[in-house]
């Protein structure tokens, strides 16, 4: 399995990294590391996530919650 980010997702990721970085030193980097670790888990365990649509799934981060 290959994980890829749509262009809009890359833009949002960059914005989120900047936002977290402004909240506390190193937090933006920690967020990026967590996103990359989550992408790695998706690659290693592609059947472990909830399907959203064909070819896409939802995977949660342990350290950064979105809801």
Domain ranges of the chain: 7-58
Q: How far apart, in whole angstroms, are the C-alpha atoms of residue 2 and residue 63?
A: 23
Q: How far apart, in whole angstroms, are the C-alpha atoms of residue 17 and residue 20?
A: 5
Share above pLDDT 90 across residues of the chain, in percent, rounded to a whole number? 52
More confident residue, 29 or 51: 29
Share above pLDDT 70 across residues of the chain, in percent, rounded to a whole number? 96
> Across the chain, what does the average pLDDT equal?
88
Q: Are 58 and 49 in contact (CB under 8 A)?
A: yes
pLDDT at 30 over 80: yes
């Amino acid at each position: 399995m290959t994980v890829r980010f749509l262009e809009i997702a890359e833009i949002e990721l960059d914005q989120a990294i900047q936002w977290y970085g402004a909240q506390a030193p190193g937090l933006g980097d920690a967020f990026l590391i967590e996103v990359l670790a989550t992408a790695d888990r998706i690659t290693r365990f592609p059947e472990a996530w909830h399907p959203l649509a064909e070819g896409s799934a939802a995977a949660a981060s342990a350290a950064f919650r979105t809801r």
